[in-house]
Structure 1
Amino acid sequence: MAPELELTILMPCLNEAETLATCIGKAQGFLARTGIAGEILIADNGSTDGSQDIARAAGARVVSVTERGYGAALAGGIAAARGRYVIMGDADDSYDFAHLDAFVAALRDGADLVMGNRFRGGIAPGAMPWHHRYLGNPVLSSVGRLFFRTPIGDFHCGLRGFSRAAVLGLNLRTSGMEYASEMVVKATLAQLDLREVPTTLSPDGRSRAPHLRSFRDGWRHLRFLLLFSPRWLFLYPGIALLWLGLVVGAVLLPGPVRYGSVTFDIHTLLIASLFVIMGVQSIAFAIIGRRFASRYGFIPPSGTYGRLLESLTLERVLLAALVLMGAGVAGLVWGVAEWADRGFGHLNPSTTLRPLIVATTALVCGFQLMMSGFMSSMINIPIYERRVTDPLPPDNPTA
């Protein structure tokens, strides 16, 4: 085993022959100037333009990562790094590897993840497309701060430093561009020490188009943020729909409501019923999603949420579902009786359909709760559990 170094400067690489030597030279100059014991590591993701030979000739170490993708290349590089700290950056000469002093200082001061902030450090003309600078990056960073309460202002800066041990402990899983968001989100949820330093962004030195695809990769980042936040994806929309449906339904249940020339009646009550059903299902998805994410390590466990999940036992959920379904069935039986009293003829919407809408809504919501309760309990079943008939481990006879 090679001795541990203080710093690994990591560059993911896919056909970067035009700029790779320049980036390596700047990184070597930084190490020589500061006297830091470090290495330059190129995580090659299948280059076909001779980037591997260029990197070795320039004095860098090359590790081959067969799984394709930006995140996969970085994960492979981090696993192979020998440094206690890792500073990663793109090999397109858009980031200045000659001036990494602020990153190293913050890491030595105890930071777990140090993000560059291009908006504070300066973006050179032509370095970032306008829709990235004024729309994509600000919007996605704002969403990330809102969802996860992270202090990071530039979620997608490609120049960042971190403690190798801390990032390995995050169990990062994505293989694409969303790896950048996953690192920030999981570091925030794990309550690591996150800091930002200003950094500059220059136009890259390549003659070809970048690997980044604006809308595809932007959607992947947004999708990741939503999937890792069941509250914003399911819970808050569900509460809003449920509240709106209940309020509108309560107003319209006694009879039509007229505002000026507009009358809200049975049709609006049906829409309110739909909102209630959608809200209940969305809240159920939030609970199931949070339980799944916590159980399988996507999101760290929450004490408050854990206590809530413990209180929502299958038996309690089934009891609530049976009450709702019983009320719904009773309402439907009443409706059939009313219909029979009228000789199975025309029914008055004002006196009959309103209660039937409420009864049907209760029946559907009860059925949803019952199915969601069983699904949530299935997720809670341990994957690895010793059966009663299995022999005891030889080193633990009392297990």
Structure 2
Amino acid sequence: MSPIGWEFRSGALDLQVDADPQLSFVIPCLNEAPTLAATIRDCHRGGEATGLNFEIVVADNGSSDGSVQIAQQEGARVVPVPIRGYGAALSAGIKAARGCFVLMGDADSTYRFDQAPLFLAPLQAGADLVMGNRFSGTISPGAMPFLHRYLGNPVLSLLGRMLFGIDVGDFHCGLRAFRRSSILALSLCNTGMEYASEMVIKASLRDLHLVEIPTDLRPNPPGRRPHLRTWRDGWRHLKFMLSFSPRYAFLGFGSVCLVASLLLYSSYATQLSIFTGTTSLLVAGFLFYSACALISDYVVTRFFFAQRYGNHIGRGGRLIDRLLHGRSGIDRLMKSSVAMLALGTALMMILLHAYQNASLSEHAISQLAFLTSVSLSVALFSYLTGAKISTLVAFQDCEF
């Protein structure tokens, strides 16, 4: 079967229009003249092997080395993409694709597009996203730099599994196939390399059916300079992953601060070892306030994620679920703020009275001062959380 849009006849390419391709190969491209022809021919072999009508879409990011002409000569449809970036090119290519299935991969001939049937089979069986796993396939000698193979990819993939519970061994494999409608529904927006992480994370948050299969990786041709920048792009992937994991980015760190604060206070209260000075209480108070601020951000972020991706996001227990239940949740937070403010004020008055009349020891007064700061911190936490959620609800014009 010939690729959609082109038919091979006596070594030449004649235009053949077919408005109903089932499979689209999408290839981002920026000055890939040395390898683009081989990559497109690989797509032809893979498309023919699937038995489906197919097209090849090259999303060109402003090539100046003749890549556009090569793509057209090899039977691909070129989509110009003025916004620079790996994610921008892929996003434009996927939107321009006409097939219900899309197989994406790089133009450097390292990925095996001729393995298309292996990726299409799970999609035809009901999967939404099929990821390649280079570590369970074959990585040819020199195909992956040492740092990428033994540090970058394994660590980021491990973090992906920890943060999102995604059972994927190769989080950043660029060869993947998916249902076009499912991925478009995710509203992916990153223009850089982290687009690949965004796709997997949002697919997981939307409960799409993910499947992973082994795939092979070939080495870059001699002299080709990869577009990937190890440390810069690694940091961008990590930053994006943490941004989409409020449970770890906010709740985890906030919980550490909270536990440290309570331990310091307990040590001071029991006059344990070196933690008997008032400095311990100052640090404990700061940690408690920091914990309140971080947990407040977690609750608000969880609310936003629940509105966008579903209530299962960032589980915080029944208490948080009740707090975030529409208007009644905001009202509970505001009532809690007033109650804790009243308690903090009362404790402050008791503290001032005890200090003026010397009715309590210095140790007891310091503890009372700490408890006062705790009450006021919780009051501020409740108010800020309720106010931020209320603002989000109003901004999104949600019913509450």
Band of TM-score, shorter chain:
0.7 to 0.9
1:332–1:112: structure 2 CA closer, same or farther, 3 Å change rule? same
Aligned-partner residue type, residue 280 of structure 2: T
Q: Per-residue deviation at 1:33? A: 4.3
- 2:114 match: secondary structure: coil
Q: 2:293 aligns with which of 281, 288, 299?
A: 281
Q: Per-residue deviation at 1:382? A: 4.8
Q: 1:365 aligns with which of 364, 374, 378?
A: 378
1:167–1:323: structure 2 CA closer, same or farther, 3 Å change rule? same
Q: 5 Å matches for 1:142-181?
A: 142-181=158-197
Q: 1:326 aligns with which of 342, 356, 360?
A: 342
Q: Per-residue deviation at 1:46? A: 1.2
Moved more, 304-313 or 63-72: 304-313
Q: 5 Å matches for 1:34-53?
A: 34-53=50-69
- Deviations 1:55-99 (Å, cap 9, x if unpaired)? 001111111111211111111111111112111010001112223
1:45–1:308: structure 2 CA closer, same or farther, 3 Å change rule? same
Q: Per-residue deviation at 1:309? A: 0.9
Partner of 1:215: 231
> With structure 2 as the length reference, what TM-score do the two structures score?
0.87
Q: Per-residue deviation at 1:220? A: 1.1
> With structure 1 as the length reference, what TM-score do the two structures score?
0.88
Q: Per-residue deviation at 1:355? A: 1.2
Aligned-partner residue type, residue 271 of structure 1: V
The question of whether the paired residues in 2 share the 8 Å contact of 1:244 and 1:272 is answered with: yes
Q: Is 2:142 the counterpart of 1:126?
A: yes
Q: 5 Å matches for 1:305-324?
A: 307-310=322-325, 313-324=329-340
Moved more, 50-59 or 101-110: 101-110
Question: Distance in 1 between the 2:351 and 2:116 partners?
Answer: 75
Q: Per-residue deviation at 1:313? A: 2.1
Partner of 2:11: none
Partner of 1:290: 302
Aligned length: 377
Q: 5 Å matches for 1:247-396?
A: 247-253=263-269, 255-258=270-273, 262-295=274-307, 297=308, 299-302=309-312, 307-310=322-325, 313-341=329-357, 349-384=362-397
Q: Is 2:21 the counterpart of 1:11?
A: no
Q: Per-residue deviation at 1:202? A: 1.4
Aligned-partner residue type, residue 145 of structure 2: P
The question of whether the paired residues in 1 share the 8 Å contact of 2:299 and 2:385 is answered with: no
- 2:150 match: secondary structure: helix
Gaps of at least 5 residues in structure 1 are: 387-399
Partner of 1:389: none
Moved more, 228-237 or 365-374: 365-374
- Deviations 1:200-250 (Å, cap 9, x if unpaired)? 111112624211111111111111111111111111222332233234424
- 2:136 match: secondary structure: helix
Question: Distance in 1 between the 2:322 and 2:370 partners?
Answer: 35
- 2:22 match: secondary structure: strand
- 1:87 match: secondary structure: strand
1:39–1:306: structure 2 CA closer, same or farther, 3 Å change rule? farther
Partner of 2:251: 235
Question: Distance in 2 between the 1:110 and 1:376 partners?
Answer: 37
Gaps of at least 5 residues in structure 2 are: 1-16
Q: Is 2:149 the counterpart of 1:137?
A: no
Moved more, 314-323 or 171-180: 314-323
